[in-house]
Amino acid sequence: MSPRILLAAALLAPAAAFAGDAPHDLWYSPTFGCSTCHIPHRATGAALTSEPNAITLCNNCHQNQAGFGYPWASSYQATPGVEGRSHHWDSSATNPTYSAQAPSNPDMAARLPNGNMICSTCHDQHRGASLNGGTRHASPVTAVAGGATGSMSVANVVGNVAPKGFLIEIVTAGATGASAFRVSHDGGASWYGWNSVGSAWVAGLAAGRPTGPSVELDVAGVFVGFTGTHAVGDRWKFYVSYPFLRIANSASEMCEACHTARVQSAAYVESGGDGTKLFSHPVGEALSRGYDRAPSALLDANGYAQGSGSADAISTNDLNLDPSGKVRCMTCHYPHMADSNSLTEDAR
């Protein structure tokens, strides 16, 4: 079989064979698969995509979709010194004014169509969502059907939960505590029911688990809460996932791949630089100088003590050191939904 025929066969294979991590999996729909984004013939995009580039393709789902947590409207891309709350995803990777260059990482550099940054320069939609870390998040809950007199919400997510999508359906009507529900991870193609005798979730079981203010699902560590009265067929969906990072970024490696000139030592900055690089705050330095606060005594951007149980109860204005206790780009900056006001908690 020729390579072209093999490629076409791969694109037309059943979606389950290529299901990825939520939300790029069957959670969204039992028919979601390769052909949702790719077509084998007369494709508009060079990667056999149904859109000319990854930007328009990603925006089919992500632009102005409140269900994903926050929108990705092009107007939200930052203009330095003017406005914006997100890193650009449709402009040149090279910008001498801001000491930006094509990424040094080969996986990122291979994804610069016409030299432009796009979503998939930094994110890998095909690989494991938690492969390169990043902040775990639960999406907002979307009401799929019914729910006129009752609601469901994510009560808590505890621990290192694997990425997963959830569809919740009421199978026994009644008030919270009397009603019961089941769980699906493939858009309703299959279900998990509750064995009340064995206190366990069982694939294919018809019985549901009683609702309550905090009920653990079949994935350990994921809890949902119910309120009000529910009818049979009420449905809600949400997912728990990670940002599909192309490379690790816990020490701002992704930032430094494009902004190498910004990686300057404290000694270099204190000397005033040599004129070959932009003056910058030190990057990659531990807080070990006499004028530095100890890492345990850091204040957030609002001047409050930070850390677990931050005094102002706002986590998005905290200044976070890397795992080795050093100052990095993301100690002060954030690539998406950067804080516009240190007095408020911003969605991320």
* DSSP code of residue 27: T
Q: Tell me how many degrees the CA angle 211-164-21 measures, rounded to the nearest 5.
A: 165
CB atoms < 10 A from the CB of 115, how many? Answer: 10
What number of CA atoms fall less than 13 Å from residue 335's CA on the CB side?
17
Q: Residue 183's pLDDT is what?
A: 98
Q: Is the dihedral of CA 195, 200, 204, 210 positive or negative?
A: positive
Structure confidence at residue 259 as a pLDDT band (50, 70, 90): very high
Q: Residue 56's pLDDT is what?
A: 86
Non-local (6+) Cβ contacts of 274 within 8 A are: 268
Token couple for 29: 């729909």
Structure confidence at residue 81 as a pLDDT band (50, 70, 90): confident
User: Residue 337 pLDDT more than 90?
Assistant: no
Q: Is the dihedral of CA 311, 312, 315, 321 positive or negative?
A: negative
User: Residue 12 pLDDT more than 50?
Assistant: no
Token couple for 11: 């694109």
Q: Report, as an integer, the average pLDDT of 30-51.
A: 89
Q: Tell me how many degrees the CA angle 153-334-319 measures, rounded to the nearest 5.
A: 95
Q: Report, as an integer, the average pLDDT of 124-143.
A: 91
CB atoms < 10 A from the CB of 320, how many? Answer: 17
Q: Residue 166's pLDDT is what?
A: 97
Q: Residue 64's pLDDT is what?
A: 65
Among candidates 132, 136, 126, 129, which has minimal Cα distance to 247?
Answer: 132
- Rounded CA separation 69/84 (Å): 17
Where are the domains positioned within the chain? 3-122, 137-241
Q: Residue 66's pLDDT is what?
A: 61
Q: Residue 65's pLDDT is what?
A: 65
Token couple for 159: 């621990």
Span 161-214, pLDDT tens digits: 999 999 999 999 999 999 999 999 999 999 999 999 999 999 999 999 999 999
User: Residue 272 pLDDT more than 50?
Assistant: yes
Q: Residue 68's pLDDT is what?
A: 67
Using omega within 30 degrees of 0 as the cis cutoff, is the peptide bond preceding 23 cis?
yes
Q: What is the mean pLDDT of the chain?
A: 88
Non-local (6+) Cβ contacts of 157 within 8 A are: 136, 138, 221, 222, 223, 240
- Rounded CA separation 190/74 (Å): 37
Q: Report, as an integer, the average pLDDT of 61-86.
A: 77
Outline where DSSP puts E strands in the chain: 137-138, 142-145, 150-157, 164-172, 174-175, 180-184, 192-195, 200-203, 209-210, 215-216, 222-230, 235-241, 285-286, 326-327
Structure confidence at residue 5 as a pLDDT band (50, 70, 90): very low
- Residue pair 193/210 in contact (Cβ under 8 Å)? The answer is no
Non-local (6+) Cβ contacts of 109 within 8 A are: 102, 103
Q: Residue 16's pLDDT is what?
A: 39
User: Residue 251 pLDDT more than 90?
Assistant: yes
Largest CA distance in the chain: 73
- Residue pair 5/17 in contact (Cβ under 8 Å)? The answer is no
Q: Residue 9's pLDDT is what?
A: 37
Q: Residue 235's pLDDT is what?
A: 98
Span 212-246, pLDDT tens digits: 999 999 999 999 999 999 999 999 999 999 999 99
User: Residue 89 pLDDT more than 70?
Assistant: yes
Q: Which residue has the higher pLDDT, 60 or 291?
A: 291
Span 298-315, pLDDT tens digits: 999 888 988 766 778 888
Q: Which residue has the higher pLDDT, 65 or 13?
A: 65
